[in-house]
Amino acid sequence: MIVEWVIRALGIIAVLSALVAITRRNPIYSAVFLGLNFLCLGGIFTFYVSPFVGAVQIIVYAGAILVLFVLAIMILNLRDEDLGPSRRTVVKFFAVIAAIGVVWLIITITAGFVPPGREAGTISAAQVGRALLEAHVVAFEVISVLLITAVVGAVVLAKKRMEV
């Protein structure tokens, strides 16, 4: 019973933090609320799928990806005049109405739903490792090369901007 309410609360917070992330004018505030969204999703994965998948969600997304976003935002060095005019309040009003509708849907759809037992859907670290290094080794290596290329590109762009 308590697990149901925790999962519902995490879902509601995830929806609301996503809504706030897309309505903020300042990209740093958006990144902070995106981090809150990632943490809530990690909690949902922990309760539904397995604690390992939840931990990976938090470490990879709330840790690494969010740091990459903040680094990109800081490299861009946006000023207030670069952000453009303030967004209309009418759009924000309808976004709040849409968020309330999504929260209502989450509550009504999950009413009476009992989360599955942990044994039924657990994923171990060994299974993830086997999947990455046996079945998906080419994709794993391509992504690692892509990330290294992105970091080198970011450093080159930052150096060019500092010289100008």
d(CA 103, CA 107): 6
Q: 24 near 35, Cβ under 8 Å?
A: no
Q: How many residues does the chain have?
A: 164
For 37-59, the pLDDT digits (tens) are 999 999 998 887 778 888 888 88
Structure tokens belonging to residue 72: 């990109």
Question: pLDDT tier at 120 (50, 70, 90 boundaries)?
Answer: very low
**Can you tell me which residue has the tokens 């970011």?**
154
Tell me which of 1-5, 32-36, 113-117 is least confident.
113-117
pLDDT tens track for 71-116: 887 877 766 665 666 666 666 777 778 778 777 777 776 665 555 5
Q: What is the 3-state secondary structure (H, E, C) of 94-155?
A: HHHHHHHHHHHHHHHHHCCCCCCCHHHHCCCHHHHHHHHHHHCHHHHHHHHHHHHHHHHHHH
For residue 14, what pLDDT is reported? 92
Cβ–Cβ under 8 Å, residues 42 and 17: no
Pick the CATH number of 2-121 from 2.30.40.10, 1.10.760.10, 1.20.120.1200, 3.20.20.10: 1.20.120.1200
Other Cβ atoms closer than 10 A to 160: 9
What pTM, to 2 d.p., does this model score? 0.60
The type of residue at 68 is L
Q: How many other CB atoms sit within 10 Å of the CB of residue 70?
A: 16
Task: Inform me whether the pLDDT recorded for 36 exceeds 90.
Answer: yes
Domain boundaries, the chain: 2-121, 124-164
